[in-house]
Structure 1
Amino acid sequence: MQQMLVPIRYAYTDITAITSHFRDKLGQGGYGSVYKGVLLPGDLHVAIKMLEGNSNCNGEDFISEVSTIGRIHHVNVVRLMGFCSEEMRRALVYEYMPGGSLDKYIFSSDKEKTFSWDKLNEIALGIARGIDYLHQGCEMQILHFDIKPHNILLDSNFVPKVADFGLAKLYPRGNSFVPLSALRGTIGYIAPEMISRSFGVISSKSDVYSFGMLLLEMAGGRRNANPNAANSSQSYYPSWVYDRLTEQQVGDISPVDDMHELEKKLCIVGLWCIQMKSHDRPTMSDVIEMLEGGVDGLQMPSRPFFCDEGHVHVDDSYHLSSELTAISEEEDELFCFVLLN
């Protein structure tokens, strides 16, 4: 029982044996490669992430933070089962998620891989509960900074689990200051304050922004940015869906009449989450309440992105660099730092 509650330390030779000499590669991420392995006895499948040698933290920090993260037990957070730390060789041993990552389902053209609106709402709630637990349910606040479909894994029953919450992201709860060295993220999901402090402090609200972008992609069944869209007004989904939800047409037919009630709810909650100023966004606890309730009680937020009265213009991607740079040129140094790192 004790072994199940804390991460087990493995030797590198154990890791090579568990992975059968790294035979079955599951994927490649920003921090290293992930391999499938089997723990004996019991034939328990695991996913082993081999961290790149240029990891920021030293051995002591690594083990200390692994110890903290290893005490996380939540149905919507992937469980850390073990680790390896031998000189520059570092590995994290996680429970294996047979359902794979969420992006394979929400961006799939295969109808067999699509979820019903009820299931999507259930998955969204699970993800929100997992993030909220990282923010408030642990001894130390854990900020993810890279919430995206690829980092949401599904078990055999399609229960979502937040994964890849990394290391060196532990902060005392209530501490609003996050050092610049902690910055990371993926273009398209990264909160504006991660690029320019003009938009607020970096905090748990930065994860809320990323979750909002994820929620909109779940609702739209597509990536938020599609520069190849036939209609330019639909190239940036958050802008398009905001207009659709707020348009008033003459007559009895509303532009949102054909939207499913749960689709509408996911979109409205997502639009609240991606407000540009961090203090205008809800907390993850608030998000859970909104997702648990009905759509009728939800008010539309303010327009949450930079644009004129028309639409956001996107070129080859939907990062906010041009808008952010134009609005706060004094932050050039910080902006360059984020782009280069």
Structure 2
Amino acid sequence: MLGQGGLGSVYKGVILPRDIYAAVKMLSYKCDGEEFINEVATIGRIHHINVVRLAGFCSEEMRRALVYEYMPRGSLDKYIFSSERSFSWHKLNEIALGITRGINYLHQGYDMQSLHFDIKPHNILLDDNFVPKVADFGLAKLYPRDKSFVSERALQGAVGYIAPEMVSRSFGVISRKSDVYNFGTLLLEMAGGRKNADSNASQTYYPSWVYEQLIINHDQQVEVREISSSSAVDMHELERKLCLVGLWCIQMKPHDRPTMSEVIEMLEGDVDALQVPPRPFFCDGPGDGMPSSVYDGFLLFTPLS
């Protein structure tokens, strides 16, 4: 067994007679044969270097399984949350770009729009060369490209990653920008090597803590400390880039967040060209619009399906 999630258990298997390793997801939810085949047919059309490829499926009476390409390096979380830094800042930026391209493809790369709703380090897998691939579409729903939002009843998200509009429509409609919010949290975790919803960490809301490390002077130039260690040394420019892009992605209102194609441009561009995002309301200070205790509810609760 490689792991277990809401949809079922994942096992390491072998595709015969080619003797190729595969990841076999034994589905625990019930669906009829026609529904399953339709879902597989849609997933099978997704082909991108930064998205895990579906190799095939199994269906026998009520037993269903999806067979994916095997990712020998495992998931991203075991590298970014380790006690020792596994990747250079250049490699982390490269991985972030790959994830962005994969999500952007899911959003607009083919004739159906796939919304993931569960983007987190555990669902980013790495191949032999540490190329990142977006995995686990357990919470994703496929919609025609002309649909701009989806029903809240279909949603459920991971604690610490869920976008505000998935809890309250007063923040906006649920859309591709909800995935952008998930991705922004992922970027901040990659930069700091710390989980956003970590019960063992301090009670300070993590993105708020990151924002406080970006000290803005009157010239809008940013003087920073490294957030990934306790030493007060200058922040690497790529660490700063991940933080700034991540903070743009987790803006409260969906229309204030960039699209994934815009995120690609931001990550490919020069860090000095990035503007500092507006001060989010989860940071203490005048004009925040809402106390941080209100936002804490978004970390503790997820909407019922």
TM over 0.5, yes or no? Answer: yes
| 1:21-45 deviation line (CA, Å, top 9, x unaligned) | xxxx111011100000011222100
Distance in 1 (alpha carbons) for counterparts of 2:45 and 2:9: 24
SS of the aligned residue for 1:289 comes to: helix
1:127 alignment partner in structure 2? 99
Does the C-alpha gap of structure 1 residues 228 and 177 become closer, same or farther in structure 2, counting only changes over 3 Å? closer
Determine if contact 1:272/1:304 at 8 Å carries over to the other structure. no
1:330 alignment partner in structure 2? none
Q: Within the alignment, does 1:306 sit opposite 2:282 as a pair?
A: yes
Does the C-alpha gap of structure 1 residues 167 and 255 become closer, same or farther in structure 2, counting only changes over 3 Å? closer
Distance in 2 (alpha carbons) for counterparts of 1:227 and 1:246: 27
Q: Within the alignment, does 1:151 sit opposite 2:151 as a pair?
A: no
| 1:121-166 deviation line (CA, Å, top 9, x unaligned) | 0000000000000001122100101000000000010000000013
Distance in 2 (alpha carbons) for counterparts of 1:38 and 1:186: 31
* The one of 22, 47, 53 aligned to 1:79: 53
Does the C-alpha gap of structure 1 residues 41 and 168 become closer, same or farther in structure 2, counting only changes over 3 Å? same
1:271 alignment partner in structure 2? 247
| 1:163-212 deviation line (CA, Å, top 9, x unaligned) | 00137611111311312332021010111111111111111111000000
Q: Within the alignment, does 1:118 sit opposite 2:101 as a pair?
A: no
* The one of 196, 200, 204 aligned to 1:224: 196
* Percent of residue pairs identical: 72
Does the C-alpha gap of structure 1 residues 152 and 183 become closer, same or farther in structure 2, counting only changes over 3 Å? same
Determine if contact 2:124/2:134 at 8 Å carries over to the other structure. yes
1:34 alignment partner in structure 2? 10
Tell me which protein shows more helix as a share of its residues. Answer: 1
SS of the aligned residue for 1:158 comes to: coil
Give the deviation of 1:87 after TM superposition.
Answer: 3.5
Give the deviation of 1:72 after TM superposition.
Answer: 1.1
2:23 alignment partner in structure 1? 47
Distance in 1 (alpha carbons) for counterparts of 2:157 and 2:139: 13
Does the C-alpha gap of structure 1 residues 63 and 168 become closer, same or farther in structure 2, counting only changes over 3 Å? farther
Distance in 2 (alpha carbons) for counterparts of 1:323 and 1:87: 40
Does the C-alpha gap of structure 1 residues 27 and 120 become closer, same or farther in structure 2, counting only changes over 3 Å? same
Distance in 2 (alpha carbons) for counterparts of 1:253 and 1:81: 47
Distance in 2 (alpha carbons) for counterparts of 1:81 and 1:89: 18
Q: Within the alignment, does 1:161 sit opposite 2:96 as a pair?
A: no
| 1:228-259 deviation line (CA, Å, top 9, x unaligned) | 446x6xx332111212213449xx99334710
2:228 alignment partner in structure 1? none
Distance in 2 (alpha carbons) for counterparts of 1:253 and 1:50: 49
Distance in 1 (alpha carbons) for counterparts of 2:113 and 2:123: 19
SS of the aligned residue for 2:13 comes to: strand
Distance in 1 (alpha carbons) for counterparts of 2:298 and 2:130: 38
Give the deviation of 1:89 after TM superposition.
Answer: 1.1
Does the C-alpha gap of structure 1 residues 151 and 307 become closer, same or farther in structure 2, counting only changes over 3 Å? same
Distance in 2 (alpha carbons) for counterparts of 1:191 and 1:253: 27
Determine if contact 2:216/2:222 at 8 Å carries over to the other structure. no
2:80 alignment partner in structure 1? 106
Distance in 1 (alpha carbons) for counterparts of 2:265 and 2:222: 30
1:254 alignment partner in structure 2? 223
Distance in 1 (alpha carbons) for counterparts of 2:89 and 2:140: 36
Give the deviation of 1:313 after TM superposition.
Answer: 6.1
Aligned length: 293
Distance in 1 (alpha carbons) for counterparts of 2:104 and 2:174: 16
In structure 2, give the amino acid aligned to 1:141.
Answer: Q
In structure 1, give the amino acid aligned to 2:105.
Answer: Y
Distance in 2 (alpha carbons) for counterparts of 1:144 and 1:63: 20
Deviates more, 1:38-47 or 1:145-154: 38-47
SS of the aligned residue for 1:100 comes to: coil
Distance in 1 (alpha carbons) for counterparts of 2:9 and 2:285: 44
1:19 alignment partner in structure 2? none
Structure with larger Rg: 1
Determine if contact 1:32/1:51 at 8 Å carries over to the other structure. yes
In structure 2, give the amino acid aligned to 1:264.
Answer: R
1:181 alignment partner in structure 2? 153
Deviates more, 1:254-263 or 1:187-196: 254-263
SS of the aligned residue for 2:130 comes to: coil
Q: Within the alignment, does 1:322 sit opposite 2:294 as a pair?
A: no
Q: Within the alignment, does 1:239 sit opposite 2:208 as a pair?
A: yes
Distance in 2 (alpha carbons) for counterparts of 1:225 and 1:172: 33
Distance in 2 (alpha carbons) for counterparts of 1:305 and 1:156: 41
1:58 alignment partner in structure 2? 32
Give the deviation of 1:60 after TM superposition.
Answer: 1.6
Determine if contact 2:214/2:223 at 8 Å carries over to the other structure. no
Give 5+ residue unaligned stretches, structure 1: 1-24, 326-334
Q: Give me the CA root mean square deviation.
A: 2.6
2:230 alignment partner in structure 1? none
